[in-house]
Amino acid sequence: MTDLIAFIGVGNMGNPMSQNLVKAGKKVKVFDVSKKMIELAKKNRLDVVENLNDLITDEVTTVITMLPEGKNSKDVYLGNEGIINKVSKDCLLIDCSTIDIRTSIEIGNKAKEKGIKMIDAPVSGGVMGAQNATLNIMAGGTKEAFELALPLLKIMGKNIFHAGDLGSGNGAKICNNMSLGITMIAASESLMLAKRLNIDIKKVHEIMKNASGNSWPISVYPPLPGLIDGTPSNNNYKPGFSVGMMNKDLKLANECAKSVKALTPLGAMALEIYNKFCEEGNENKDFSAISKVVGGDAWNYPID
């Protein structure tokens, strides 16, 4: 019998991830609660199942989920019609959603009680990374479960890490994205300051890429247009990775910090900045559009 992957959640990230599995020769069936995403999946010639109950059959050997929040993962896995009550003990569960650690562990423990192997495996790299199969994937779970998932993870990503026990994947992702949110603001402030000082922004960008001020937002994903081709800043800030999703991850980081009494003042300030930006109606812009907050009237200066 051919292994069948059930992929749940084919939005901006899940759609290209599932496509890469198909391109690699895997048999994949997909489902999403969004009719818009279902239509996009059909357009991309994915094998769509329009009812979750019909998706989880005896044929399914792996379930991969890519969902927005912990409550969505909990509902899909542990709800009245939850996956854990339907799949066989031989089925591998991979939750690529970025969710709170407590929910991740709760789902994993329920799976363990049933003898089902599961990992949490959130990703970073945005839509570009999903499309190009260059995602960074941080997995939590037993070594045995991780090794079983690794061949599939390698199809969807480039840098695969086993972070530790169940929940560690989400913990690592939350830490990473707190740093990313902070450094995107820092990159925006630095580049906008250069513009106000009337220094050639392209030269400053090149200097920063090769100096101690370098960061991922500077070298790969700059928040200002005209610096690196193919980035959201050159496409009217079409995500990418949205402001809303970054705001969600910073909230998770803030909650984690409070739970272990860790001091993260920059993380808290970043959350405040992104949260306000969301409230102003920018939730669906790419998170690099946060440069508009720090830019002021400098935002309208042309980049030659």
Q: Encoding tokens for residue 213? A: 């001020």
What's the gap between Cα 105 and its chain centre?
19
Q: Which residue type sits at 74?
A: K
d(CA 175, CA 171): 6
Q: Single out the catalytic residue among 26, 29, 117, 173.
A: 173
DSSP codes, 178-245: HHHHHHHHHHHHHHHHHHHTT--HHHHHHHHHTSTT--HHHHTS-SSTTSSTTSGGGTTT--SSBHHH
Query: Which of 38, 22, 31 is closest to 53 using CA atoms?
Result: 31
Active site residue 173: yes
Active site residues: 173
